Amino acid sequence: MTIPPEAGAKFAQELPYGSEEWHAKYNTLRNNNEGMHGFVKDGAHEALDDPSRRRVHGVAAQSIFVAFLLMAANVRKIEAFGQEKVVSIEVAKVRRRAKRRVTKPLGSWHPGGPETEALPCPDPPLTA
């Protein structure tokens, strides 16, 4: 179904086309899509862009193979995410913050208090 221009489809969008908000959303989505395209085209794994890896005839057979390759790419991404989380948890367990030393609160110190009056005054320096 095509929406005619007089129906106002151009202005019925949630974010106005070409606005700063639109560019922020569009660029983020575009980067995610392009990143996934590069991921599934990796020649060491799925190589989705290499048709010689899927030597079958027919659109249906090609579609099934592409679906399996995309599933394998998604599983690979999920496993990598899980491994990254496991490593970060192990690192968090190994690296512990040093205990803070216990000090007196700053409010307990008074200049010229009873502690400083009880101390003897040092001798003046000797001059020649």
The single-letter code of the amino acid at 117 is E
Q: Report the amino acid identity of residue 29.
A: L
Tell me the pLDDT tens digit for each residue of 22-71: 888 888 888 888 989 899 998 888 888 888 888 888 999 989 999 999 99
Burial of 7 from C-beta contacts in 10 A (0-12 / 13-18 / 19+): exposed
CA-angle at 33, arms to 28 and 36, nearest 5°: 125
Give residue limits of the domains in the chain.
14-95
Cα distance between residue 40 and residue 48, in whole Å? 6
Task: Find out whether 49 and 41 touch, Cβ atoms under 8 Å.
Answer: yes
Per-residue pLDDT reduced to its tens digit, 63-82: 999 999 999 999 999 999 88
pLDDT higher than threshold 60 for residue 116:
no
